[in-house]
Amino acid sequence: MLKELRGSDVIIECLLEQGVDTVFGYPGGAVLNIYDSLYKYSDKIHHVITAHEQAACHAADGYSRTTGRTGVVIATSGPGATNLVTGIATAYMDSIPMVAITGNVTRDLLGLDSFQEVDICGITMPITKHNYIVKDPAELADIIREAFYIANEGRKGPVLIDIPKDITGALMVYEKKEPKKVVNHNPEGINEEIAAAAELIKNAEKPFIYAGGGVVSADATEEMAEFVRKVDAPVSLSLMGQCALDNTKDCYIGMLGMHGTKTAAMTLSECDLMIVLGSRFSDRVLCNAKTFAKDKKIIHIDIDPAEIGKNIDVYSHVTGDVKYILAKLCELLPDMKHEAWMNTVMDWKKQYALRMVPIESEDEVLPQDVIEELDRLTDGKAIISTEVGQHQMWAAQYYNFKCPRSFASSGGLGTMGYGFGAGMGAKVGNPDRTVVNIAGDGSFFMNCNELSSLAKHKIPLIELVFENDVLGMVRQWQRLFYGKRFSQTNIERGTDLMKLADAFGVEGIRITKKSEIKPMLEKVLKCGKPCLVDVIINKDINVLPMVPAGADVSQPIMNIELD
């Protein structure tokens, strides 16, 4: 049915077509028409305003990662649009489907250095799958529909739509349409590639499975679990792939790479076939591309042909949808047994189990104890978001994820300030699940203003801050490689986080010793309100193991001598 609507109403109608019921954003002059329509449609679309546009973008990202739906963020022109850039780049690096809608000056003012005008399409071209500036009102609806399709087709990612203000105010004809179904068409010859991969797997005596975020993105975790069962092999997961497999399974041996486990490193060294699923071979995994899995047969399975052979040469590959590929492999493969190999790997797993050691006293708080207690109290079923730094690695090392889409962390861009917004988006999208953002105090001070967003919207997110008064990961590098010259990494701001929590109107809880960990976490998990947990830890606690940049991944540092 045809009807005449303002452009801003067309935008909202198109969002509803796509099943959108939640958007994140911040109003401003160039998007006043859109916000006027959001007011009219407030019974159909819930809008979450943050304290800063970057947090809104991260919230849309965290919403997408943990729900599997496309995140939507709205910002005004100029600084509103540029404040989205880091969030868009974060989503791009981690292949997260998101649609960013920005306003701009009216078409007659474009290119004149008008007030709050910026070429956001030019700025974001390298960090979006595609972007648009709408010049013709008749194209608005179809551009929005196409943006959602592109964001979700193939290797997923963010799309930006820049809309001049006069387009949002213009009258135009609108006709409702059903969304185009996303079908990842596998390339011709894929079944032959899958058959060849199956033969390699059948003939392997020491297979090793390594999976990344592509498995989660493709909703292929059930197929992965069946594949792991069939092959009977040890499994390592990338940072992005943390919830691709139940971490409590015996076959799971931890991460691989710079902060991976010694067990994963030894398994890589001794395997005869590495099966890589939905992972792009990041430099943080390879460490040294020239020595990584040298002389090993590698099967690389990924949806993006550009990733095949980009960072490392592989023996064989299958390019396509990992969900389809794993299902086909499971049809072709018999139930396999590698008892001797698995026993060897399990012995390594026991021998090289991770264990932090107290530095000053037996009752001091260790991040491992906090995260493992959080894991026990939530049965591994909470959604965990993180900032970037030592705490990020501790979360990946010590929380045993049992459910898919339970981890939101900036893997590729490494964005400090990401986790708080992402955690808010995750909680909005998953109101019945416990959501915890794990932060360091360095990252926390980049986004602590978002405590006001928690209080305003009554979002019961748990913000857990490891406070050590230093930029821990950078300081760790300074200790190892810069002669202990701790340049600008002792932050020591002197802020009382409990007073800060009170000022923002959220619950504040502090943990200062080991004996407080369980009772305080039990208290916060029962709180049901926005909560800031201040965990005081020693500044000299490091993330181990650690492979120095450019070193062989099989030779991690297992201990760091302190002063």
Return the CATH number at 160: 3.40.50.970
Check if 115 is active-site.
Answer: yes
Regarding whether 332 and 450 lie in a shared domain, the answer is no
pLDDT for the residue numbered 561: 83
Inside any domain, residue 546: no
Regarding whether 451 and 317 lie in a shared domain, the answer is no
- Residue 233, pLDDT > 90, answer yes
Regarding whether 326 and 394 lie in a shared domain, the answer is no
Check if 224 is active-site.
Answer: no
Regarding whether 194 and 149 lie in a shared domain, the answer is no
Inside any domain, residue 197: yes
Regarding whether 303 and 208 lie in a shared domain, the answer is yes
Check if 297 is active-site.
Answer: no
pLDDT for the residue numbered 549: 84
Regarding whether 455 and 342 lie in a shared domain, the answer is no
What is the pLDDT confidence band of residue 403, given thresholds at 50, 70 and 90?
very high
- Find the catalytic residue in 18, 93, 156, 165: 165
Regarding whether 135 and 30 lie in a shared domain, the answer is yes
Class of residue 469 by CB neighbours under 10 A (exposed 0-12, middle 13-18, buried 19+) = middle
Identify whether the C-beta of residue 371 lies closer than 8 Å to the C-beta of residue 395.
yes
Instruction: Report the amino acid identity of residue 197.
Output: A
Check if 177 is active-site.
Answer: no
pLDDT for the residue numbered 194: 97
Inside any domain, residue 399: yes
- What is the average pLDDT across 476-505? 96
pLDDT for the residue numbered 550: 87
Class of residue 382 by CB neighbours under 10 A (exposed 0-12, middle 13-18, buried 19+) = buried
Inside any domain, residue 359: no
Angle at the Cα of 132 (from 93 to 308), degrees rounded to 5? 35
pLDDT for the residue numbered 405: 98
- Find the catalytic residue in 13, 18, 24, 53: 53
- Find the catalytic residue in 116, 297, 373, 516: 116
pLDDT for the residue numbered 207: 98
- Residue 563, pLDDT > 90, answer no
Alpha carbons 301 and 318: distance in angstroms, whole number:
5
Inside any domain, residue 395: yes
Handedness of CA 58, 61, 63, 65 (dihedral sign): negative
Regarding whether 438 and 306 lie in a shared domain, the answer is no
pLDDT for the residue numbered 1: 67
Domain of residue 476 covers 367-536
Alpha carbons 437 and 447: distance in angstroms, whole number:
12
- What is the average pLDDT across 383-407? 98
Residue 225 has which token pair? Answer: 């679990």
Regarding whether 248 and 148 lie in a shared domain, the answer is no
pTM metric for this prediction: 0.97
Domain harbouring 276, CATH code: 3.40.50.1220
pLDDT in tens, 171-222: 999 999 999 999 877 888 899 999 999 999 999 999 999 999 999 999 999 9
Closest CA to 283 of 446, 93, 458: 93
Inside any domain, residue 554: no
Regarding whether 288 and 212 lie in a shared domain, the answer is yes
- What is the average pLDDT across 423-444? 98
- What is the average pLDDT across 62-81? 98
Alpha carbons 78 and 175: distance in angstroms, whole number:
31
- What is the average pLDDT across 440-447? 97
Inside any domain, residue 180: no
- Find the catalytic residue in 473, 476, 478, 546: 473
How many domains is the chain built from? 3
**Last residue in a domain, options 175, 207, 223:** 175
Q: Which residues contact 31 (CB under 8 A, 6 or more apart)?
A: 25, 74, 75, 76, 77, 80, 101, 102, 103, 165, 168
Regarding whether 371 and 326 lie in a shared domain, the answer is no
Residue 452 has which token pair? Answer: 């006001």
